[in-house]
Amino acid sequence: MIRKTYASIEKKLHPDVDKSDFSYKDLKAEITHRDKEIINEILDFINIYQFELLDGTGEWEWLQNNKQSQYINGLKNKDYNLLCELFTNMFRNEVTYGYVSPSFSDLNNQKIKKESSSDILCNIDTCFEFTNIQNLEQLVTNVKCGMPFGKKFNKGYILPDTPRHFYYATKIFNLESLSNTPSILEIGGGYGGLCKELWEIYQKKCTLINIDLLPGLLSAYYFLKTCNIPVKFIFDENDISQNFVNLVPVKLLNKINSKKNMLDLIFNSRSLCEMDKNSNNEYINFINNSNASYFYHENSNFLLFPDSERHVEILSDEFMVDKNKYNLLQASITPFSGGDGRYREYIYKKIQ
């Protein structure tokens, strides 16, 4: 049977959407000496790195060519002044296009702006219902960390995706029999939002590996550095450090094969379904051949644009997870907004 519809959470307007303080202005941060140091570290890495900077497949190939072109050209040309401006304001420009839902430039549309504000408030409510969060301060990103936008609170903003990242981190933290000091691999960590929440919930006692397309990985380096989280670029398995966020470019996935047995959990959110088939299979094979106790992911399971050449999607049910190795513990609708409600959560546990 071919499904013509899909179950999803209700799309609604939050009752406080017109009462809350949101910021969508094109603000500019002052470039500090610390910012310049971080940009120089990024340029040093690019000078050593010998692979292409334009490395997206599927939906991400289109986004890099059409929505991140100034940023990627700045990286190719090693344009120091441009990169300083872009990174210090990364949440309000194309550096994080596609990594934040919605991206800042999409908020020029008044309808999207109001819906985004409502979604942030609804997602905060969802976070308070399904996690042990105590106060809004736990969701705030400081203005010094890439000039975030969203709901204003104290010295920063609650970004659209932070409630979701906090929820993921809490669910991971509460998984039965998971190590108290885990090694976690995130596939496609974007700007590093989940890494930040995991680092905080484990109180700095975890080893995180984020493998991603290079432009996203560089944004994560800047973001995590400004959040005072220890982070480093990785070229091979010998570079991976405990109690660090270790950043691995996609092209170097085969360089960390020997670390598959050290992993406790592998996580992905909203990108395995957007890759081409070859990239998706490469990651799923990595997971199947790993020793991870858990594979936790959130991806689409309905083809919303069947005739589109741009929206290349692989449905979650088609992920070739080895059923002889992993048992599906949970498959459920995500309680958060985005993707027109198509996203589903899946938690697999390794069969003992």
Confidence at 311, pLDDT banded by 50, 70, 90:
low
Q: In this structure, is residue 264 part of a structural domain?
A: yes
Structural domain for 212, as ranges: 162-350
Side-chain-side CA neighbours of residue 120 (13 Å): 28
Distance separating alpha carbons of residues 154 and 152, to the nearest angstrom = 7
Q: In this structure, is residue 32 part of a structural domain?
A: no
Using one digit for the tens of pLDDT, what is the confidence trace for 174-183?
A: 999 999 999 9
Using one digit for the tens of pLDDT, what is the confidence trace for 99-148?
A: 998 999 999 999 999 999 999 999 999 999 999 999 999 999 999 999 99
Q: In this structure, is residue 15 part of a structural domain?
A: no
Distance separating alpha carbons of residues 199 and 205, to the nearest angstrom = 7
The enclosing domain of 258 has a CATH number of 3.40.50.150
**Predicted local confidence at residue 71, as pLDDT:** 97
Q: In this structure, is residue 246 part of a structural domain?
A: yes
Q: In this structure, is residue 67 part of a structural domain?
A: no
pLDDT tops 80 at residue 194? yes
pTM: 0.96
Phi and psi (nearest 5°) for 210?
-115, 115
Using one digit for the tens of pLDDT, what is the confidence trace for 206-220?
A: 999 999 999 999 999
Mean pLDDT of the chain: 94
Q: In this structure, is residue 211 part of a structural domain?
A: yes
Number of domains in the chain: 1
Q: In this structure, is residue 320 part of a structural domain?
A: yes
Q: In this structure, is residue 127 part of a structural domain?
A: no
Which pair of tokens denotes residue 180?
Answer: 């108290």
